[in-house]
Amino acid sequence: MRILLISVIQIFSSLIYSQIPNGYYNGTDTLIGNSLKVALHNIIKGHTEFPYTSRTTDLWDILKQTDKDPNDSNKVILFYTGWSVDADQEWNSGSGWSREHIWSKSHGAFGTSRGAGTDAHHLRPADPSVNSAKNNRWFDTCSNPYLDNGNYTGCFTSSTNWVWQPRDEVKGDVARMIFYMATRYEGGKDRARFRIN
């Protein structure tokens, strides 16, 4: 696990250098392992937080922008399925779309409180029944295709292990979000609240 984390950190670091302001990651280019993770934590720990639900700008509003369907600005793309749905159908008694914590809330014990629970870096729109099927399963390779009411999702699950495999198009996004959450919230006082299986 440690070698995998170090590899992910190094790959992630090289990818983000082309997309950042000059000097943002100064002092990290010679670091490796936990020293690099701590340094990255210190760089990214300060960000603007938004409420989970509010009359002002909240996560519903943010997700309508971050996951907007490029072919129809009135729709959002659901993370696990790629389905395009009406953006205004927030939850709608379970008939609309939901906000999925890619790093499951129960794996961090953070609920929907500000900070990890509302961090838009790991929240995505999801179909409520697909989100329910994913539950708090760990991400891993699986072989059983997950169909939602007979509809192909591109996701897989397992009948023997508590795991979920997202569709190929978002696997890199999942890896980046988990890396971000482990780096952002596992440092300092938040360390005990997060675990990686």
Q: What are phi and psi of 98, to 5 degrees?
A: -120, 175
pLDDT of residue 173: 96
Q: What does pTM read for this prediction?
A: 0.81
pLDDT of residue 18: 52
pLDDT of residue 107: 83
Contact 126, 99 (CB under 8 A): yes
Q: Can you tell me whether residue 32 is helix, strand or coil? A: coil
Provide the pairing of β-strand 163-165 with 138-139: parallel
Splitting the chain (197 residues) into consecutive groups of 10 residues, what average pLDDT does each group show?
46 53 88 91 87 92 96 98 96 91 86 86 96 95 95 96 97 94 70 45
